[in-house]
Amino acid sequence: MTSYTDVFKNGKRQILVADDEYINREMLENVLIDEYDVLKAEDGEMAYEMIRQNRNTLSLILLDLIMPKLTGLELLARLSEDPDLKSIPVIVLTSDQDSEVASLKKGAFDFIPKPYPQPDVIKARISRSIELAEDRQIISSTERDELTGLFTIEYFYRYGNQFDKFYPLADMDALCFDINHFHVLNERFGIAKGDEILKCIARRLKTAFPDAGSFVCRKAADTFLVYCPHRDDYSKVVEQVSAVIEEIEAAVKVRVGVYSFCDKKLDIHSRFDRAKIAADKIRNNYSVFISHFDEALIDAELYAEQLVEEFPKALAEKQFQVYFQPKYDIRGDKPVLSSAEALVRWSHPTLGMISPGKFIPLFEEDGLIAQLDEFVWRRSAEIIADWKKRLGISVPVSVNLSRAEMYDPGLIDTMKKITGDNGITPKDLYLEITESAYVSDSDSIVERVKTLREHGFFIEMDDFGSGYSSLNMISELPIDALKLDMMFIRSAFDKHNDTRMISIVIDIADYLGVPVIAEGVETEEQYLALKKLGCTIIQGYYFSKPVPAGEFEKFLLEKKGE
Amino acid sequence: MLTIDALKQFGADTNDGLTRCMNNEAFYLKLVGKVVDDKSFEALENAVAEKNLDAAFEAAHSLKGVLGNLSLTPIYEPVYEILELLRARKDIDYAPYLKTISEKRAELKELIG
């Protein structure tokens, strides 16, 4: 632990002088300026604001009792109610003996009379108060985690804060260590062994960070935090901590999130939130164990949060639009428009067009996808009905169903209501269900799909080839079309030009007696190759990008003309 | 120009005041130069005129702190006197006290020039 003789060696501690009299402020500043970083406030509200802003660095407050806007006693009361602020010691400046007692009762640490005593007396009282306050903070909390003997989180944060007051100029890193799949270790070896592992990691962390300026704590079950002077490389540490634990002969994989050169203006727990964000980024990555925080991560989180937050408004304000991408039957000499896929677009008033790749995964995570999908289904049905009425022609439009929706017991009623409300039939609306939906809980999904088909809906299996369905299962699947995963097309036509996998899928489709749809087709070369391989239907930029409903009408009118 | 000697002559306990200023004469004289314009003087007069004894007490209290810190005894003493009367919220004629304070203040202003 750092001793108090070191206190002023590196940088100065910060003191706030709050007094409405200019002369009193100047006089105190003049006394303290050589040893302290002095902030000044000329009324109670200003003092309160400055205390809040500097709560992580402020060592002491010198407070005049009679001030405009907010009196010293009122300010004392506010501070004592705020858990973040109440530990900052306050010395009251007063010329009134009556007030001395009153302010001590309200939580002041000490008082300095006016007229001021000798400068040496002022300085001695201040440094003694700071020492006492810091000791008190440390003593009052439960210092140690019982299991590992490391600091508890509360003590760790306080101690980190205190260190910052000693060494405001030190470059510090916040680290968050997580054990990958600790619960698996617990299950495999038992809780007692799990505890052994934690203790072992704690010992290794202490060895890795031996100096007085580094602090280690256990935050939750398997999360360890370290606050330490900056290092460029933590790979050795991760190696040491992850080494085989001999008594159980198992290697523990530890990942660490690093927030380097902490911004000291952030609360200490926010600094560790950043380290945690970095650590979480590599949670499912089995080859990378060190992840550095950068501002882009915060931006990405904030962006995601904004999108989720604005979803209801966007839906109400019709910021979502349904676009249509045509699909062509390529079996004959000339491609013939066969159907379309409905795709959602978000036209945001300030962010512009937002890619579905950005918001759909978010909404899937949040469950908002159900509302968005239902909007797309309904809107598509309305548009199909409109085409039929105005143009006298339409094509089936396929819409996407997410895995969660497949479990919704009301799904079939919803679908029937949407078609019924718009005077169209189930044959007008194709349903694209991703292959991965079948895999997770195949029995109940297969049952649901069967029921949808019995009601006349046409089922396309989307992203086929990405979801590892077993060949055994495929033969039993109730589907009407197989849609090739876009990656197949991409990899088949990259430099290797290897289309064998596509041939296999086409054979499977033949065996099942269903057509194969290829999406993501961009060039004539791809189109011709797929046609030759026996692919039935093609979708992609080669024919058209997804377009708004109005623009899609030209494809319909073309077909009608033929 | 204001000097330490002139302040001594005026009756200020300059040794005491200088100690609080870490014996920095220029700094001490600068602060003394500021105190004659302290807004609490006017605040005290106005509050007494409006018979707002609470506000008068606060103003006198502020003045006492500042004058005490600078050891300007000749003004400090009448301010101290009026402060104690105001503390008791005595319903008396404060004019003579204010007059002494303002005379002493004018004297100091003269010294500052």
What torsion, rounded to 10 degrees, do the Cα atoms A485, A490, A492, A497 define?
A: 170
Strands of A286-376, DSSP E: 290-292, 320-329, 336-348, 352-354
Alpha carbon distance A478, A474 (integer Å): 9
pLDDT at A443: 75
Residues of chain A above pLDDT 70, percent: 93
pLDDT in tens, chain B (113 residues): 899 999 999 999 999 999 999 999 999 999 999 999 999 999 999 999 999 999 999 999 999 999 999 999 999 999 999 999 999 998 899 999 999 999 999 999 999 88
> Which residues of chain A make contact with B27, given a CB cutoff of 8 A?
26, 30
Give tens-digit pLDDT for A329-366: 999 989 999 999 999 999 988 888 888 888 988 888 87
As a whole number, the mean pLDDT across chain A is 86
| Residues in chain A whose Cβ is within 8 Å of chain B | 20-24, 26-27, 30-31, 64, 66, 93, 95-96, 114-116, 118-119
Q: Spell out the domains of chain A, with CATH numbers in brackets.
A: 4-140 (3.40.50.2300), 153-293 (3.30.70.270), 302-557 (3.20.20.450)
pLDDT at A250: 65
| Residues in chain B whose Cβ is within 8 Å of chain A | 16, 19-22, 24, 27, 31, 34-35, 38, 40, 58, 61-62, 64-66, 68-71
For the question of whether the overall pTM of this predicted structure is more than 0.90, the answer is no
* pLDDT for A466 beyond 90: no
Quick one: pLDDT band at residue A145, thresholds 50, 70, 90?
confident
Pairing relationship of beta strands A172-179 and A250-251 according to DSSP bridges:
unpaired
What average pLDDT score do residues A249-268 get?
85
Q: Spell out the domains of chain B, with CATH numbers in brackets.
A: 4-112 (1.20.120)
> Which residues of chain B make contact with A115, given a CB cutoff of 8 A?
16, 20, 65, 68-69, 71
pLDDT at A27: 96
CB–CB of A177/A254 below 8 Å?
Answer: yes
- What ipTM does the predicted assembly reach? 0.93
> Which residues of chain B make contact with A93, given a CB cutoff of 8 A?
65
CB contact under 8 A, A114 and B34: no
pLDDT at A412: 92
Neighbours of A107 (CB within 10 A): 15
Neighbours of A532 (CB within 10 A): 9
Residues of chain A above pLDDT 90, percent: 45
| Residue A246 neighbours by CB under 8 Å, 6+ apart | none
Alpha carbon distance A507, A527 (integer Å): 18
Describe the strand order of the beta sheet including A13-18 as a list of residue ranges.
A36-41, A13-18, A58-64, A90-94, A110-113
Give tens-digit pLDDT for A391-443: 999 999 999 998 778 888 899 999 999 999 999 999 999 999 887 777 666 67
pLDDT at A9: 34
